[in-house]
Structure 1
Amino acid sequence: MSIVYSYFKKNHNEKYLKEFFDSRGHKSSDSIKIKNYLSEFNEFQFTQLVMDLLSEIPLHSIDFEKLKLLFIKNDYYLFEDPKFIFSYDSNFIPFKQEVHDYLKFNCSKELIDFVDYLKSTDELVKEAHIQKLRSFSTNIKHNFFQQIESIKAIIEFHLNDNSINIEGSQIYFYLCVIEAFNEFEQKLLLALDQIEERIEDLCEVQSEMVKNNFNISVKEEKLKRIYRELERCEFINLNEICENGFLKVFKCDWDSHEEILNLNMDNLQFYCFVDCLNKFFNIKIPFTTIEISKKIKNKNGFINAKSIYASKSRGQMLPKDEDLITNSLLSAKKG
């Protein structure tokens, strides 16, 4: 997940920028430095910075000239009537006074290129590609949109606060900021659509590849040795599945038998077990295929691919557990 993490991680300059916006006054040289720092932020990091600023510092306390450094101008209208609601339709702009710029984020524009890269990258393992796309989609839905909506809500609350005297030029600026975030939300929705379409395409390809069995080519004798080692280490119970049932799970069509392999492992241990099958026996079984089969359980029930990946990303297995699984399968390999 490192490629997805790279887009959503905090920018190392955020702390310095927050200190700058929280301080009083600034020099013209500071503005150039701040703009240079912001150019290293992608859209998510920029949004996160704005959200953190507005959460920690009251909007009316932030120097307005500093606040303007966060955005770039690009055609918006200033009106004579300060109560006039912002509109893109020039036919409905009476009292138009002069043309300025509407606002864009003052940061690096990486979203489109990043989505294109995620879509076009040809992963050797389709399952890994799908997982990256889903992780990116989840971050957009649960983090990106939430931050943007919170920012807009804070600005709208500020505009509706009758205890604060806001100048007309500031009102238009804040309205344009809201429009800038609205526009970017549309780009996010488009990116989500493209990601979801790509996931559907990959899932169709993957489902065509998946047969009604694990489709592995390994000698039965090796599977028997694996079974004996798992039983010796108490990862399986003889009373629940016999050696012949174990063979059926891995070699036979799923609908041809009722056998279910119930492993005494948690999600992290199971991840290690499947990884060792690949390393030592060249047995490659995607977690999504295991999930579809409904033939293997662990302590959490039937295997769920997403839960396995989540456990792997969140935690680290105890060395003794990892050694036990690794050494038992190494013993099975050596016979």
Structure 2
Amino acid sequence: MIGDYRFISPAMGQESAVTQRQSDALAAYDQAAAKFELVLRQRRAQVSSHQPLPNLPGQALYLARNDMIGAYKDFTDALPSKIGRPNKFAIPPAYFDADREPLLDEYFRLFELLDAPPSNAQKSETPFRDVVDLGMVIARAKGLDAANAELAGRISLGIFFAETNGIQNAGNARSNKYKGSFQTGSSEDRIGQRKWAAIKARVASLDPALSLRDDREEARAGTMDHRFNHWTAVRDGLMSTHAEMFPQVAAIAKTLPDPIDQMKLFELMQIIPTPTRAALRSGNLLSYRISDPTVMGYLRNNSVFAFGRADRLRTSATYREILDGMWLFNAKFEQARLKFDQIRRK
């Protein structure tokens, strides 16, 4: 009808757009949570009925979990008032609705089954102490004093928890390449063996009992994949990737006094080793910026800047921002810190 003008002020239009954004974000979150629950049920049914599993059976679970967490972050970005109570997984409440805790409980139960060690794996009765002892003796062989060798031992235990939640000889339901207590590839394990051989005489002089233990474990492993003997897997993993950084532990601790940050930095040697070495050489670790799209992709594939549109759109980050973005590792590293303190008190 002529003269029937429906005027919408800019403010009202903006409010309507925001409301639609909130509605869309809620719908996307509900859909992602429902999909995650469906994938969990499907995988549980397959496991319970002993059906053949697809290649990399954990990947769909992992991606569905990430989608749910990311969708919730998009929702709370659109409607911050919906940020809820803390959750038992220590995930920032803006990323996770505590009412969904049962879904993550089932997620971790399934991964315990899917990542179970192979039947021929050679376990240790002292898996945590082994990691600490090996980390410390390698550090001492690299010239560290007792105090800094302890830091290296604690960091080593953090890597073990970060990679496997402290489960020795773990498989990997998301990769056919990385296996064992330190989730190494076969080439990394061979490199670690060679590097260990180069310092073995020094280790024997520092700790004869540990050297004898090493001889026994080496004989026990024989020709099997060394990644499935806990001792040799830890030893070779530390030697192949982390031992080269141990001489810098004192400087790293000065820059990063928080033990959790120290563990995060060494975990980044697992995820993005080349940029991490460059950051350490730069003389300004925390301000060193990563902008390579491939490297940012590696971070996202390991649960850093992986959740929510704002995180995923990042094109670069400083190492301080990366360390802060590794919040999903916090609970694992806190477990490692407490376990280390317990071991050292004995």
TM over 0.5: same fold?
A: no
Answer 1 or 2: which has greater strand percent: 1
| Higher RCO (C-alpha 8 Å, min separation 6) | 2
Larger Rg over CA atoms:
1
| TM norm structure 2 | 0.28
| TM norm structure 1 | 0.29
